[in-house]
Amino acid sequence: MQRKTAIFIVILTFCSALAWGRKEDSLEQLKARVEHGSTDEKISSCLEISERQLTALDQLYTAGNADQAKTALDDIVMYTEKGRDLSVASGKKLKPMEISTRKIVHRLRDIKRTLAFDDQPPLDAAIDGLERVRTDLLSKMFAKGEK
């Protein structure tokens, strides 16, 4: 019994060390994976790009860099839409795509509340577009008679 526990602990420690040492891909590597990866990799990469750019968007607005924030916002919308297109076409990762899109919309609304009135229209347009993305994903997920 003690030997099994010891082996389990060694394996767990090894797996933890591997996970800890794993490097995060750069944004450029993720963008390349969207163009050349498998369908699952493309969808996952689109989600990760959107989530990373959302974090960057928040930081850029906080720092007062509205022009760079606009570029990040464009990436968020573009890669979320691309992920939706891939998910709907393949029928894969619809649920994670919808959940991520919902979280992105929620966070964009939070960011919008912190901005001056003049800086809000681009976020309004992005939120509206991402809500359409969610609607498309939900329509595909709950389509009657189709699978």
Q: Give the tens place of pLDDT for each residue, 85-110.
A: 999 999 999 999 999 999 999 999 99
What length does the chain have? 147
Pairwise CA distance, residues 105 & 127, whole Å: 6
Lowest mean pLDDT across 2-11, 32-41, 55-64, 122-131: 2-11
Per-residue tokens: 38: 């498998």
Pairwise CA distance, residues 136 & 133, whole Å: 5
Query: Other C-beta atoms within 10 Å of 2: how many?
Result: 6
Q: Tell which residue, 103, 85, 107, has the closest CA to residue 94.
A: 85
